[in-house]
Amino acid sequence: MDIIHTTKAPAAIGPYSQAIRAGGMVYTSGQIPLDPDSGLMAEGSIQQQALRAIENLAAVLEAAGSGLDRVVKTTCFLKNMGDFAAFNEVYAAHFTGNPARSCIEVSALPKGALVEIEAIAEI
């Protein structure tokens, strides 16, 4: 088992790692739309926040020797399910392999994010 860390994605803000690589798979922690350089939340629409979260997720997967094209399962958390269609447009443009997915509305996300995405991928 290997702990994955990259400076190209936001550092963990608690007692967890960005991802764990084990048994030929990588399991990521949820990625919210924080800018990895400034640590600030991406401003704007669900589309802008979804793109930043996906970019963060891609950076973590790359550090683990994987990529968005190798994702087998995602779990997506939305603050407002009314944003589902707009979120899905951004998601579909980046997850072209159509991984299995759960999408859940939650009452709140860390730092006021509109979206958080976690993934399981092959290495």
Per-residue pLDDT band for 98 (boundaries 50, 70, 90) equals very high
Domain 2-122 has CATH 3.30.1330.40: yes
* pLDDT at residue 1 in the model: 94
Render pLDDT for 49-62 as a digit per residue (tens, 0 to 9).
999 999 999 999 99
Three-class SS of 74-118: EEEEECCHHHHHHHHHHHHHHCCCCCEEEEEECCCCHHHCCEEEE
* pLDDT at residue 14 in the model: 84
Q: What's the pTM value of the predicted model, to 2 decimals?
A: 0.96
The dihedral through the CA atoms of 95, 67, 80, 77 has a sign that is positive
Above pLDDT 90, what percent of the chain? 93
Name the residue with higher pLDDT: 12 or 100: 100
User: What residues are labeled active site?
Assistant: 103
